[in-house]
Amino acid sequence: MCNAQCGGTCDRSHPWLARTLLLAASVLVAVGLAACGPGSTDVGDRAVSDSGGIAIPLRYARYLELVRHEGFIVARLQAPVADQGGARAPQSDTLVLVPEADEAPALTGALRGATIVRTPVRTIAANNGVDEAFLSALGVADRLVAVGGLTSFDNTTRRRAKAGEIAQVGYNWHAPPNLDVLIARQPDVFLMRLSDLAQTPVLQRARALGLTVVPTFAEEETSYLGRAEWIRFFGLLTGTDARAQALFDEIEGNVAALKAQVADQPSPGVLWAYPAGADRWVATVRGAEAAYIADAGGINLMAQPEDPARWSSETVSSEALLPLAARTDLWLIGDLHAAPPRGRAVLDAFPAWREGRLYGNTGRSLLDENVHDWYQTAVVRPDWVLGDFVKMLHPQLRPEPFRFLKPLPQDRYQ
C-alpha cells in the first residue's frame, strides 16, 4: 500500500510501497546494521549467549522471532531484501531487550554484535505512521518525542506535533531522518523506516552517534494477521506486553467470527482497481490486501496466484478490465492515489458504475490535512478492515457503520 502522504510521487503500480521501505531497511545487516551503536559490544560483567531460551509463540508473523531467556528477550527481525535490480535475499537484525534496572550483559556467540535495547522504552521517535499506530493502540502514544511530520491520524499526536511539543524528523518516504533533531531529543529508541538504500548510511551514523535504532518490518509480512501480530514486539518494547497479547487475541477472534459469519453467504464478484491516469488501472491481485476479499466471502475478479516475491498489486490496461464488467457486483474504485481516467467509455461499460455500486478506502481520512488512516491503523486493526469488507459484500450482516471503506458517488475517487 503506497504511503498516503507521499504526495502522489510514488509508483502507482505498487499501492503497498511501504514494502519497498522494509526491504531497504533489512539490507542494513549486510553493511553492519547490528555491528555498531550503544549496547552492541561487550559491556558489564554478565555474559549472555543465545543458547536455550523459550520461544514466545507467534501464530502468523513470519519475519519476527521472539525468544525469552532468563533476564532478557532476543528479538530477531528479518525481511527479504531487494536490490535495485529487484533480486531478493533474506537478511536479518537481532536485538536484545534488557530490563532497564538490570546490569547490561556482555553479548557472546550468536548475540555478539546485537543491539541492546533497555525496556520499557519511555521516549520514542518514529518516522512512520504504522509504528505510531501500534503505539496508539497500546495507549503509549504519549511517549512519542518525535514523529515524521504532521499527518498522524491520532489527533493528540498531530496537535502536539503542530504545537512543536513533538519534534519532526521527516517521514521515511521523503528523506532520511533529521539526525540533529534525534540527537537533541535523545529518545530511548528510534523506530526507523527507510525509503531507499541511500538512507542506509544515515542509520549507521545514527547508531554511531549513540542512538538506539530499531528497524521495523511489520508491513513486509505477507498476511494481514502477520502484520498485526507485530504488536507483540511493540508491547515488549514498551512494557505493555499483556495488553498487546490481549489486543491481538481480540483481533484474531474478531477475524475468525467474521469469516464464520460469511461462510454460507453468496460470493459477490469484486473488482478492486483504481484509475491511475490514461488507460491504466492499479488492481489488487494477491497478498494481504486481496485476502480481505476472500475472507469476507467475495471473489476477487483479478486474482493472481500468491507469490511473496511479487507485489500485491499490478498495473493493468482498460482492456484487461472490460471483460469483467458483467461479473463485477462491487467495484472498489477509490483510493488516495486515484487519478481520474481519461474518459468514461470503460466506466459506462460497467453496470456497477452505472448503478452506483462503488466504494473507496478513504473512510478514515482527513483530506484537507492529507491524513489517511488506511496507511496507519488499518495495518494494526485488520479486524476492523475485514468488518468493512463484510459490510460491503453482505450489508445485511453488518449494521455497524463503515470505518475505512465508504460508498462513493460516480466521478469521485476519494
Q: 3-7, 71-75, 191-195, 343-347: lowest mean pLDDT where?
A: 3-7
Answer for the pair 301, 239: CB distance below 8 angstroms, yes or no: no
- Which residues are registered as beta bridge partners of 106? 47
In whole angstroms, give the CA distance from residue 233 to residue 331. Answer: 36
Q: Which residue intervals of 268-414 are DSSP H helices?
A: 287-295, 318-321, 345-348, 351-354, 377-380, 382-393
What residue has cell string 472498489? 332
pLDDT of residue 193: 80
DSSP three-state, residue 180: helix
Answer for the pair 128, 172: CB distance below 8 angstroms, yes or no: yes
In whole angstroms, give the CA distance from residue 133 to residue 159. Answer: 15
In whole angstroms, give the CA distance from residue 140 to residue 236. Answer: 12
Cell for 304? 493472481
Q: Please, what sign has the CA dihedral across residues 149, 154, 155, 159?
A: negative
Top-tier CATH class for 262-407: alpha beta
Whether 262-407 and 18-254 are alike in CATH topology: the answer is: yes
170-209: pLDDT as tens digits: 998 778 899 999 999 999 999 988 655 566 678 789 999 9
In the predicted structure, residue 329 carries a pLDDT above the cut 80: yes
Residue burial 220-243, b: 16+ Cβ < 10 Å; e: rest: bbbebbbbbbbbbbbbbbbbbbeb
**Among 15, 19, 5, which residue's Cα sits nearest to residue 338?**
15
DSSP code of 276? B
Per 3-state DSSP, what percentage of the chain is helix, strand, and coil (rounded to 5)? 35, 20, 40
Q: What percent of the chain has pLDDT over 90?
A: 72
Answer for the pair 292, 270: CB distance below 8 angstroms, yes or no: no
- Ordered by start, the domain boundaries in the chain are 18-254, 262-407
DSSP three-state, residue 393: helix
In whole angstroms, give the CA distance from residue 34 to residue 166. Answer: 28
DSSP three-state, residue 287: helix
DSSP three-state, residue 57: coil
Answer for the pair 193, 167: CB distance below 8 angstroms, yes or no: no
227-271: pLDDT as tens digits: 999 999 999 999 999 999 999 999 999 999 999 999 999 999 999
Q: 10-24, 91-105, 140-154: lowest mean pLDDT where?
A: 10-24
Cell for 16? 503497498
Largest CA distance in the chain: 74
In whole angstroms, give the CA distance from residue 263 to residue 95. Answer: 42
Task: Please count the CA atoms within 13 angstroms of the CA of 85 that sit on its side-chain side.
Answer: 2
Cell for 67? 525468544
Answer for the pair 171, 148: CB distance below 8 angstroms, yes or no: yes
In the predicted structure, residue 81 carries a pLDDT above the cut 50: no
300-326: pLDDT as tens digits: 999 999 988 788 999 999 999 999 999
18-254 has CATH 3.40.50.1980 classification? yes
Supply the mean pLDDT for the chain.
Answer: 87
Answer for the pair 405, 348: CB distance below 8 angstroms, yes or no: no
pLDDT of residue 11: 39
pLDDT of residue 173: 79
Q: What is the dihedral of CA 154, 155, 160, 164, to 10 degrees?
A: 90
Which of residues 225 and 19 earns the better pLDDT score?
225
Residue burial 70-79, b: 16+ Cβ < 10 Å; e: rest: eebbbbbbbb
Backbone angles phi, psi at 170, to 5 degrees: 95, 135
